[in-house]
Chains A and B, each alone.
Chain A
Amino acid sequence: MGAVDMDICARVKEDRPLLSVQGVKKLYGNRIGCTDVTFDLFPGEVLGIVGESGSGKSTLLGCLAGHLKPDAGRILYDGRDMGALGEPERRRLSRTEWAFVHQNARDGLRMGVSAGGNVGERLMAVGARNYGTIRDTAADWLGRVEIAADRIDDRPSAFSGGMQQRLQIARNLVTGPRLVFMDEPTGGLDVSVQARLLDLLRGLVRDLGLSVVIVTHDLAVVRLLADRLMVMKSGRVVEQGLTDQVLDDPQHGYTQLLVSSVLQV
């Protein structure tokens, strides 16, 4: 191993997390949504969050994405404290540097606007004005998510569930975000469509160097997509680590139960 490799190792230690989450807590009345959540997400990393329904994973995602206000703790994005950030700046970030892919594509799309319009709208929100450029970029992105060019003027309501989900991804990624939040992006899709979406997401993450926080209950999805995994139960993180290590050598009783409960095909 040469000096080059050593340099790389040194660099890994130096660079700064894109997202730093420190002791985040969210209460619903006196019921715990999530508590004591601490982790760092570095550029180009995919973090999976798994846990059963009600484990707090969506609450946590909501806090991270700024949809919910945490009751305690700090969230630093690129070194800036999100709690201290004004609403206009937070909104600007969520249009430009962040993206949020909803489980239900209808929550992330405008159903009455054409496919091209859905993608173009997000570009216009960041200041693009030239119609030709916007349409070309939209067409390019529809191609990347494998939606045929002749569907650009159709409304998403005429699309299948898998196509809607891919359109939502195009709409979210067109502005070149750095951080993408995904809430069960493959939930409710049939398995062949899921595989295609996973392949697409992996390619995009690699080519664009995206940092991703993906919430799911599907262990197969995180195994293929996530570098690191966090397991939540009753609002707390019970275990985190390298994805394959957590799945193949789970340390916490709950994770062991989760992993051993998956049905083999």
Chain B
Amino acid sequence: MIEITNLSKAFTLHNQGSAVIPVMAGAALAVAPGECVGLTGQSGSGKSTLMRMIYGNYLAAGGSIRVGDLDVARAAPREIIRLRREVLGYVSQFLRVVPRVPTLDVVAEPLLQLGVPVDAARARAADLLARLNIAERLWGLSPTTFSGGEQQRVNIARGFAHPYPALLLDEPTASLDAANREVVLGLIEEAKARGAAIVGIFHDEGARDRVCDRLVDVTGFTPRLAA
């Protein structure tokens, strides 16, 4: 479902002496449907960079990133938009929403984008919010004022609203208590069971051991520094 070959990336800082910083070379990764692959490596080793490249958020310098039948490294913006809407979900660590939109609609939005009727989309959103222990009295409020843990759970609900065939999870269990962590791990296991291909970053080793079928250390993709 996800297949990365010979991927490379460098940042060019035009306003800081045009410094070129190579951050990735020769990256390769394959994730089959129903499989969860955990990315490991020290902070700064490129886990998030790799994930952002799969999502099309960072541009690739070379190589290919196939998600389904689309090569994200070469796709036109609108093909990526379509891919994100229908095929590839992403739970980032930060919730970014239009202020003022009620939580229920924030979670239902990915479904509305797909043309799901409002009632059905809201019902699915309500199910997920209830499961993730977001109190019902908060559903009508904007999540911008919520606590960190609540925002993260709203973000997770939003990421799982549509059954994406491929999912990227960036620290989905960080800052959650034991009960909510359990709910999130359950959601991940269900997604695997229905055949989703998942790439995840987990600092929580217990969670990693439980849901990941394989680990890939991204340190191996860090370019050797030229002397």
Contacts and interface: CB of A to CB of B under 8 A. Distances in A.
B87 A195 contact: no
A47 to B, nearest CB: 10
A249 B68 CA distance: 24
B58 A260 contact: no
A36 B67 CA distance: 33
A6 B68 CA distance: 9
* Residue of B11, B14, B58 most packed against chain A (CB within 10 A): B14
B59 interface: yes
A257 B16 CA distance: 10
State the majority secondary structure of interface residues on A: helix
Contacts of A126: none
Nearest to B68: A1
B80 interface: yes
B177 interface: no
A198 interface: yes
A208 to B, nearest CB: 13
A244 B57 contact: yes
A195 B68 CA distance: 36
Nearest to A254: B14
B78 A12 contact: yes
Contacts of A244: 57
Contact of B56 (A45, A245, A257): A245
B69 A6 contact: yes
A242 B79 CA distance: 10
A262 interface: no
A130 B107 CA distance: 41
Contact of A227 (B13, B78, B96, B112): B78
Interface string A239-265: 001101100110111001100100000
Given A206-B113, A260-B15, A199 B165 contact: no
A242 B80 contact: yes
A1 B99 CA distance: 34
**Interface size range on B against A:** 20 to 34
A242 B77 contact: yes
Interface in A193-244: 195-196, 198-199, 202, 206, 223-224, 227-228, 241-242, 244
**Interface size range on A against B:** 20 to 34
A225 to B, nearest CB: 9
A228 B57 CA distance: 12
A256 B77 contact: no
Contacts of A252: 14
B100 interface: yes
Contacts of A242: 56-57, 77, 80-81
B12 A251 contact: yes
B14 A256 contact: yes
Given A5-B86, A253-B15, A256-B13, A202 B78 contact: no
B98 A228 contact: no
B1 interface: yes
A148 interface: no
A8 interface: yes
A181 interface: no
Contacts of A12: 78-79, 82
A1 B81 CA distance: 17
A9 interface: yes
A227 B57 CA distance: 12
B68 A196 contact: no
Contacts of B70: 9
* Residue of A9, A206, A257 most packed against chain B (CB within 10 A): A9
B15 A245 contact: no
Interface of A: 1, 5-6, 8-9, 12-13, 42, 45, 192, 195-196, 198-199, 202, 206, 223-224, 227-228, 241-242, 244-245, 248-249, 251-253, 256-257, 260
Given A5-B87, A224-B96, A241-B59, 18 more contacts: A1-B1, A1-B87, A9-B68, A12-B79, A45-B81, A195-B99, A196-B100, A206-B113, A227-B77, A242-B56, A244-B57, A245-B56, A245-B59, A249-B59, A251-B59, A252-B14, A253-B15, A256-B13
24 contacts: A1-B1, A1-B165, A5-B86, A6-B69, A8-B86, A9-B69, A42-B78, A45-B78, A195-B98, A195-B99, A195-B100, A199-B101, A227-B81, A228-B77, A228-B78, A242-B57, A242-B77, A249-B52, A249-B57, A249-B58, A251-B59, A253-B15, A256-B14, A257-B15
Interface of B: 1, 11-15, 52, 56-59, 68-70, 77-82, 86-87, 96, 98-101, 112-113, 165
